């Protein structure tokens, strides 16, 4: 018999990376919040790669942290190994990536949720969602409990009608042997949401002692370790090594001979897989000219011998998995602990969501993470944070927080999803942003901490640290611009040793730092009056001076973009009545209801000529 188990303001369905950020934000902003997980041991789980960060993804983690989210601090607390990617390229694409102790990370996040005021963590499968008579939402669990809430955030990951595929075997299931959520999709469809089937996969996990590491290449971490969180003050240490090996022609032959046994190529999988993280058999087919592929051997934790084989996602039968694994150097006697598998799941069309991540047709219902068609822990956490903030703000009668494309990769991610949609699982990449030089990971706090403070997620201590860092940077920039060094043997020896021109007259420290051959650290030898400043402030200052011309040009583009973003389009606009709009544009604009001219300009099928018509129409209706 159904019974009312209680009333809350916000309910979060799913306690993965999106759900954690959503629930934490809503509760910390003063809303009574309940978060549901199918299995309490799945809170904060990493069903795929035991890592956080990577190209563009590291930027997202820094931005989550700058806004006052949880992921960066948790990653630092459970670090196994850290590396800065793309050091040989410009600062815009430098990205942190860290191996994480997956079990300890999950325990950390579970305990974090248990200790946040206003937040209740419950193990339950939500089987139905409907509108209550008073306009709120009524959630029903498999045990026939009912919860009455004002707002719902869907952070269901890959659980919605999840289906596992390994060769000819398929069955209903969630990630890592969990149960799927079988019936919630039906409620969402009944409420008017459009659901689709996406697919993702994961490699085998293998026993460390069965690997011959002498046949692999060691990949140590980098020292000193750079933390994800701007608030991590204590030094971090690398605890483990990763390793690299390569597939062989024999590996490729095994895959080719057994493609007919792949559910991906046999037609059993209908879901659309990720473009930028394909299964290994898909890589062999798509890149047939390549003789070998790189495999990263990554520890799952400090106190486990389970190893993750990045690059070898597969849905082939277990016997084929074993056969191709043993053709790889170092894996001749490999022991598989968890076979690779593919998983299909339901997700929404994110174009049905507003930039706040609220469903346009179902007020009070929000989506986050893989439910919105994205892939990746970091993308999920970023969306969860914004959904949690905006659900709380709506209940408090406040306007939503919209991170625009010039403010952060979070803005690019959400704008891409809700404006352009996605035909396959969306992955964040630096190339997706037109403002990469402004959206560096080193200045994420400068871009977003004021927003986090305004929202209410950045506390007094953190705000004081931020303000002090900014004051140090401002003062040091003024000193560098006003300090002139006379020519000297010591200075010219330094310049010559660095491959740059000696000076014959006085030179400003700032002008020296603008030279590509010099950096802030090396100038300390000729700058005896340098004050001790926060390393983050020094890093930001150096980048700003070296790239100030490019930054100015990019800022001008931002100013123009914001001009169009400020020209709002009323949601009730009848685009069919606007003379001059092409029919395709009328259809797309009517369906997506963009909030501004700027957003309209990014909709596929809306041309520059259509935008000109919209601007003229909007000006005539002011």
Could you write out the DSSP letters of every residue in 238-302?
----EEEEE--HHHHHHHHHTGGG-TTTTT---SBPPSSS--HHHHHHHTTT-S--EEEEEES-T
Q: Alpha-carbon distance 253 to 255, whole Å?
A: 5
The pLDDT, as a whole number, for residue 605 is 86
Question: Do 322 and 360 belong to one domain?
Answer: no
CA dihedral for 462, 464, 470, 473, sign (positive or negative): negative
CA dihedral for 186, 191, 196, 201, sign (positive or negative): negative
Question: Do 330 and 350 belong to one domain?
Answer: no
CA dihedral for 17, 271, 195, 571, sign (positive or negative): positive
The pLDDT of 573-591, averaged and rounded, is: 91
Helix (H, G, I), strand (E, B) or coil at 429: coil
Rounded percentage of the chain residues whose pLDDT exceeds 90: 84
Question: Do 519 and 539 belong to one domain?
Answer: yes
Per-residue confidence at 271, pLDDT binned at 50, 70, 90? Answer: low
Q: Are 350 and 422 in contact (CB under 8 A)?
A: yes
Residue 334 lies in a domain: yes
- pLDDT surpassing 90 at residue 557: no
CATH number reported for the structural domain that contains residue 506 in this entry:
1.10.10.1800
Query: What are the residues whose beta carbons fall under 8 Å from the beta carbon of 186, sequence distance 6 or more?
Result: 128
What's the pLDDT tens digit per position in 17-72?
999 999 999 999 999 999 999 999 999 999 999 999 999 999 999 999 999 999 99
The pLDDT of 371-395, averaged and rounded, is: 97
Question: Do 529 and 577 belong to one domain?
Answer: no
339 DSSP β-pair partners: none
Question: Do 358 and 393 belong to one domain?
Answer: yes
CATH number reported for the structural domain that contains residue 603 in this entry:
1.10.150.570
The pLDDT, as a whole number, for residue 409 is 96
The pLDDT, as a whole number, for residue 268 is 75
- pLDDT surpassing 90 at residue 175: yes
Question: Do 113 and 254 belong to one domain?
Answer: no
Question: Do 30 and 147 belong to one domain?
Answer: yes
Per-residue confidence at 262, pLDDT binned at 50, 70, 90? Answer: confident
The pLDDT, as a whole number, for residue 288 is 87
What's the pLDDT tens digit per position in 124-167?
999 999 999 999 999 999 999 999 999 999 999 999 999 999 99
The full length of the chain comes to 622
Q: What are the angstrom distances between the C-alpha of 440 and each of 224, 534, 601? A: 20, 18, 25
Angle made by CA atoms 320, 100, 17, in degrees to the nearest 5? 90
Query: What are the residues whose beta carbons fall under 8 Å from the beta carbon of 326, sequence distance 6 or more?
Result: 332, 333, 334
What's the pLDDT tens digit per position in 187-245?
999 999 999 999 999 999 999 999 999 999 999 999 999 999 999 999 999 999 999 99
Q: Alpha-carbon distance 307 to 203, whole Å?
A: 10
CATH number reported for the structural domain that contains residue 294 in this entry:
2.40.30.260
| Radius of gyration of the CA atoms of the chain, in A | 26
Exposure string over 8-43, b if 16+ CB within 10 A, otherwise e: bbbbbbbbbbbbbbbbbbbbbbebbbbbbbbeeebb
Question: Do 491 and 532 belong to one domain?
Answer: yes
- pLDDT surpassing 80 at residue 334: yes
Helix then strand count (H, E) for the chain reads 19, 22
Q: What is the mean pLDDT of the chain?
A: 94
Please identify, among 492, 520, 551, the residue that sits at the C-terminal boundary of a domain.
551
Residue 556 lies in a domain: no
Query: Sheet containing 336-338: which strands, arranged edge to edge?
Result: 217-219, 242-246, 294-299, 306-310, 205-207, 336-338
The pLDDT of 109-125, averaged and rounded, is: 98
Q: Report DSSP state, residue 291.
A: S
Q: Report DSSP state, residue 417.
A: I
- Of 85, 69, 86, the closest CA to residue 444 belongs to 69
- Of 521, 319, 353, the closest CA to residue 426 belongs to 353
Helix (H, G, I), strand (E, B) or coil at 363: coil
The pLDDT, as a whole number, for residue 412 is 95
Alpha helix positions (H), 116-232:
184-191
> What's the total number of domains in the chain?
4
The pLDDT, as a whole number, for residue 203 is 96
Residue 461 lies in a domain: no
Q: Are 336 and 124 in contact (CB under 8 A)?
A: no
Please identify, among 344, 377, 408, the residue that sits at the C-terminal boundary of a domain.
344
Q: Are 445 and 536 in contact (CB under 8 A)?
A: yes
Q: Are 365 and 135 in contact (CB under 8 A)?
A: no
Q: Alpha-carbon distance 227 to 104, whole Å?
A: 17
Q: Tell whether pTM > 0.75.
A: yes
- pLDDT surpassing 80 at residue 512: yes
Q: Alpha-carbon distance 545 to 537, whole Å?
A: 12
Q: Alpha-carbon distance 80 to 251, whole Å?
A: 30
Residue 136 lies in a domain: yes
CATH number reported for the structural domain that contains residue 357 in this entry:
3.50.50.60
Q: Report DSSP state, residue 73.
A: H
The pLDDT, as a whole number, for residue 358 is 98
Question: Do 105 and 217 belong to one domain?
Answer: no
The pLDDT, as a whole number, for residue 371 is 97
Domain hosting 155: range is: 3-197+345-455
Q: What are the angstrom distances between the C-alpha of 229 and each of 113, 170, 220? A: 19, 41, 22
Question: Do 530 and 589 belong to one domain?
Answer: no
ω before 224 within 30° of 0 (cis)? Answer: yes
Residue 460 lies in a domain: no
Residue 474 lies in a domain: no
Per-residue confidence at 619, pLDDT binned at 50, 70, 90? Answer: confident
Residue 467 lies in a domain: no
Q: Which of 160-164, 427-431, 567-571 has the highest mean pLDDT?
A: 160-164
- pLDDT surpassing 80 at residue 278: no
Per-residue confidence at 274, pLDDT binned at 50, 70, 90? Answer: low
Please identify, among 421, 455, 489, the residue that sits at the C-terminal boundary of a domain.
455
123 DSSP β-pair partners: 37
The pLDDT of 524-551, averaged and rounded, is: 92
- pLDDT surpassing 80 at residue 387: yes
Per-residue confidence at 276, pLDDT binned at 50, 70, 90? Answer: low
Question: Do 84 and 193 belong to one domain?
Answer: yes
Question: Do 376 and 336 belong to one domain?
Answer: no
Residue 506 lies in a domain: yes
The pLDDT, as a whole number, for residue 265 is 73
Q: Alpha-carbon distance 389 to 23, whole Å?
A: 9
């Amino acid at each position: 018999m159904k019974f009312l188990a209680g009333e809350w303001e916000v309910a979060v369905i799913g306690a993965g990376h999106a759900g954690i950020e959503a629930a934490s934000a809503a509760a910390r902003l003063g809303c009574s919040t309940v978060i549901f997980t199918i299995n309490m041991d799945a809170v904060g789980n990493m069903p795929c790669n035991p890592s956080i960060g990577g190209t563009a993804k590291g930027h997202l983690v820094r931005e989550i942290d700058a806004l006052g989210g949880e992921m960066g601090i948790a990653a630092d607390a459970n670090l196994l190994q850290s590396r800065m990617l793309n050091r040989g390229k410009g600062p815009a694409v430098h990205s942190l990536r860290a191996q994480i102790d997956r079990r300890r990370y999950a325990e950390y996040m579970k305990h974090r949720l248990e200790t946040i005021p206003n937040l209740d963590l419950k193990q339950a499968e939500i089987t139905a969602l409907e509108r209550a008579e008073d306009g709120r939402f009524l959630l029903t669990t498999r045990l026939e409990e009912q919860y009455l809430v004002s707002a719902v955030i869907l952070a269901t990951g890959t659980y919605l009608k999840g289906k596992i595929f390994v060769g000819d075997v398929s069955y209903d299931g969630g990630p890592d042997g969990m149960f799927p959520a079988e019936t919630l999709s039906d409620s969402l469809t009944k409420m008017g949401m459009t659901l689709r089937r996406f697919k993702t996969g994961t490699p085998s996990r293998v026993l460390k002692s069965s690997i011959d590491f002498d046949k692999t290449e060691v990949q140590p971490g980098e020292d000193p370790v750079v933390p994800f969180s701007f608030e991590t003050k204590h030094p971090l240490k690398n605890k483990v090594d990763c390793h690299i090996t390569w597939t062989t022609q024999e590996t490729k032959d095994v895959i080719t001979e057994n493609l007919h046994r792949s559910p991906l190529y046999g037609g059993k999988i209908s879901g659309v897989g990720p473009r930028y993280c394909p299964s290994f058999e898909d890589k062999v087919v798509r890149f047939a000219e390549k003789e070998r592929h790189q495999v990263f051997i990554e520890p799952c934790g400090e106190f486990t011998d389970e190893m993750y084989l990045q690059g070898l996602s597969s849905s082939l039968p277990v016997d084929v998995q074993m056969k191709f694994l043993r053709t790889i150097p170092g894996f001749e006697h490999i022991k598989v602990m968890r076979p690779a598998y593919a998983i299909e799941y339901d997700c929404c069309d994110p174009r049905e969501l507003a930039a706040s991540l609220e469903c346009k047709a179902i007020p009070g219902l929000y989506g986050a993470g893989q439910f919105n068609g994205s892939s990746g822990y970091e993308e999920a956490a970023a969306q969860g944070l914004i959904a949690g903030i905006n659900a709380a703000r709506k209940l408090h009668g406040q306007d939503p927080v919209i991170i625009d494309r010039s403010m952060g990769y979070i803005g690019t991610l959400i704008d891409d999803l809700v404006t352009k949609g996605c035909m396959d699982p969306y992955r964040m990449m630096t190339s997706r942003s037109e403002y990469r030089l402004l959206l560096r990971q080193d200045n994420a706090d400068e871009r977003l901490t004021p927003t986090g403070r305004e929202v209410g997620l950045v506390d007094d201590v953190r705000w004081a640290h931020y303000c002090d860092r900014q004051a140090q940077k401002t003062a040091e920039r003024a000193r560098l611009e006003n300090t002139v060094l006379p020519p000297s043997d010591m200075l010219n020896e330094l310049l010559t040793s660095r491959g740059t021109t000696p000076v014959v007259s006085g030179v400003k420290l700032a002008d020296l730092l603008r030279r590509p051959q010099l950096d802030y650290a090396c100038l300390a030898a000729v700058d005896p009056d340098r004050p001790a400043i926060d390393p983050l402030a020094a890093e930001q200052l150096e980048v700003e001076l070296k790239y100030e011309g490019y930054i100015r040009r990019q800022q001008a583009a931002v100013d123009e973009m914001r001009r169009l973003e400020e020209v709002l389009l009323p949601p009730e606009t009848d685009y069919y009545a606007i003379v001059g709009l092409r029919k395709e544009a009328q259809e797309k604009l009517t369906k997506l209801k963009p909030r501004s001219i700027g957003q309209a300009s990014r909709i596929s099928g809306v041309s520059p000529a259509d935008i000109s018509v919209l601007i003229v129409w909007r000006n005539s209706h002011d």
